[in-house]
């Protein structure tokens, strides 16, 4: 088979690739659907990255300049001291403003924001969640996986098995 024919076949959704034993089909068919999901991913990424920037540099939206991390402020102290109530409030009060918690919080905002915004790490996160069945515990994953829509999505001849895709 010519290189041009192989290249065209590899770009056709749902065609098999004998050299890898897999398919080139996409989990989400349709350019509009993929574009919508990409837009959602970018918006979610920005919703994590923006608070990081605001708390780090005190841009004046949720964090004033004087409370910025670069000016010695703590991104966790205000919420943990004043926003927690109940039997575990004293636990949160004791760690409010701790350097290690502030560092973890800011790294979390930055890491999640960049990963979603740049589209990196999303497959790793999905694999970890799926491999550990994290959604089945303290979530609706068990009920979700039994829905007919999940078992056989519209327009699909076979059940979707994302974990077996190459």
For residue range 40-68, list pLDDT tens digits in order.
999 999 999 999 999 999 999 999 999 99
Q: Report yes or no on 161 lying in a domain.
A: no
Q: Are 75 and 102 in contact (CB under 8 A)?
A: yes
Query: Nearest to residue 75, comparing CAs of 57, 94, 91, 88?
Result: 57
- DSSP 8-state assignment for residue 118: H
What's residue 25's pLDDT? 58
Q: Report yes or no on 140 lying in a domain.
A: no
At 68-90, the pLDDT tens digits run 999 999 999 999 999 889 999 99
Q: Report yes or no on 4 lying in a domain.
A: no
At 89-116, the pLDDT tens digits run 999 999 999 999 999 999 999 999 999 9
Average pLDDT over residues 4-26: 49
Angle, helices 99-118/122-131, rounded to nearest 10 degrees:
110
Q: Are 111 and 52 in contact (CB under 8 A)?
A: no
Number of domains in the chain: 1
pTM of the model: 0.65
In this predicted structure, the answer to whether residue 6 has a pLDDT above a threshold of 90 is: no
What's residue 122's pLDDT? 80
What's residue 52's pLDDT? 97
Q: Report yes or no on 147 lying in a domain.
A: no
What's residue 26's pLDDT? 67
- Alpha carbon distances (Å) from 142 to 128, 149, 152, 162: 16, 14, 16, 16
- CA angle 44–71–96, rounded 5-degree value: 70
Q: Are 70 and 57 in contact (CB under 8 A)?
A: yes
- Written as six digits, the tokens of 58 are 């005190």
What's residue 154's pLDDT? 65
Domain that holds residue 38: 34-120
Q: Report yes or no on 14 lying in a domain.
A: no
Q: Report yes or no on 157 lying in a domain.
A: no
What's residue 9's pLDDT? 44
- Written as six digits, the tokens of 127 are 């694999």
Alpha-carbon distance of 5 to 14, in angstroms, equals 15
In this predicted structure, the answer to whether residue 148 has a pLDDT above a threshold of 60 is: yes
Q: Report yes or no on 152 lying in a domain.
A: no
Alpha-carbon distance of 134 to 18, in angstroms, equals 33
**What's the chain's Rg over C-alpha atoms?**
22
Q: Report yes or no on 130 lying in a domain.
A: no
């Amino acid at each position: 088979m010519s290189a041009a024919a192989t290249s065209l076949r590899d770009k056709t959704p749902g065609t098999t690739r004998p050299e890898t034993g897999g398919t080139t089909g996409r989990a989400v068919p349709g350019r509009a659907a993929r574009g919508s999901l990409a837009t959602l991913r970018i918006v979610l990424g920005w919703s994590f990255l923006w608070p990081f920037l605001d708390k780090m540099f005190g841009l004046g939206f949720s964090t004033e300049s004087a409370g910025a991390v670069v000016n010695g402020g703590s991104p966790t102290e205000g919420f943990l001291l004043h926003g927690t109530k109940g039997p575990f409030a004293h636990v949160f009060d004791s760690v409010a403003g701790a350097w290690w918690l502030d560092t973890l919080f800011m790294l979390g905002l930055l890491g999640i924001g960049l990963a979603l915004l740049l589209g990196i790490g999303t497959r790793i996160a999905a694999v970890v969640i799926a491999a550990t069945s994290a959604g089945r515990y303290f979530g609706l994953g068990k009920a979700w996986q039994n829905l007919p829509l999940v078992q056989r999505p519209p327009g699909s001849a076979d059940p979707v098995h994302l974990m077996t895709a190459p």
